[in-house]
Amino acid sequence: MMDQEQSRHERAAHWCVIMQSGAPTAAEKKGFADWINENPLHLQEYRAVLSLWTEAADYGAALDPTSDVIRLYPAHKGVIAKDADGRGRRFYGFFMAMKGGRMAAAFAVIMLMALAFLSFPPLGGGVLVSQIADNLFGPAVEPFQTRKGESRTIALDDGSVIQLNTLSKLEVRFSPHERTIMMLEGEAYFDVAKDPQRPFVVRTDKASVQAVGTEFNVRLRPDDLAVTVVEGKVMLRQIKADDAKQTKAWETSLSRNEQAVLSRFDGGADNDPLIRRSDDVPLEKVVSWRQNKLIFEAARLGDVVADFNRYNTMEIILADEDLADLSISGVFDSRDPEAFSHTLEAFAPVEALVFGRSRILIKNIQDNI
* DSSP letter assigned to residue 221: -
Q: Closest Cα partner for 344 from 360, 359, 322? A: 360
Q: Is 235 domain-assigned?
A: yes
Q: Is 130 domain-assigned?
A: no
The answer to whether residues 275 and 301 belong to one domain is no
Q: CA–CA distance from 267 to each of 263, 264, 270, 275 (Å)?
A: 10, 9, 9, 13
How many domains is the chain partitioned into structurally?
Answer: 3
Mean pLDDT of the chain: 75
Q: Is 138 domain-assigned?
A: no
User: Cis peptide leading into 282, omega within 30 of 0?
Assistant: no
Q: What is the CATH number of the domain that holds 323?
A: 3.55.50.30
CB atoms within 10 A of CB 316: 22
Chosen domain end from 283, 314, 340: 283
Confidence at 365, pLDDT banded by 50, 70, 90: confident
The answer to whether residues 109 and 177 belong to one domain is no
The answer to whether residues 358 and 241 belong to one domain is no
For 50-97, the pLDDT digits (tens) are: 766 665 555 444 444 444 555 544 443 333 333 434 444 333 333 333
Q: Is 223 domain-assigned?
A: yes
Q: What integer pLDDT is reported at residue 50 of this predicted model?
A: 72
- Asked whether 131 and 143 are in contact (CB, 8 A), the reply is no
Q: Is the pLDDT of residue 112 over 90?
A: no
Calculate mean pLDDT across residues 129-144: 61
Range of the domain at 239: 147-283
Calculate mean pLDDT across residues 238-242: 67
Chosen domain end from 283, 305, 339: 283
The answer to whether residues 251 and 310 belong to one domain is no
The answer to whether residues 247 and 302 belong to one domain is no
Q: Closest Cα partner for 92 from 8, 154, 180? A: 8
The answer to whether residues 307 and 186 belong to one domain is no
Q: What is the CATH number of the domain that holds 245?
A: 2.60.120.1440
For 246-300, the pLDDT digits (tens) are: 455 688 899 999 999 988 654 444 556 688 899 989 999 999 999 999 999 999 9
The answer to whether residues 178 and 209 belong to one domain is yes
d(CA 106, CA 74): 12
Q: Is the pLDDT of residue 10 over 90?
A: no
Q: What integer pLDDT is reported at residue 130 of this predicted model?
A: 42
Q: Closest Cα partner for 220 from 192, 182, 266? A: 182
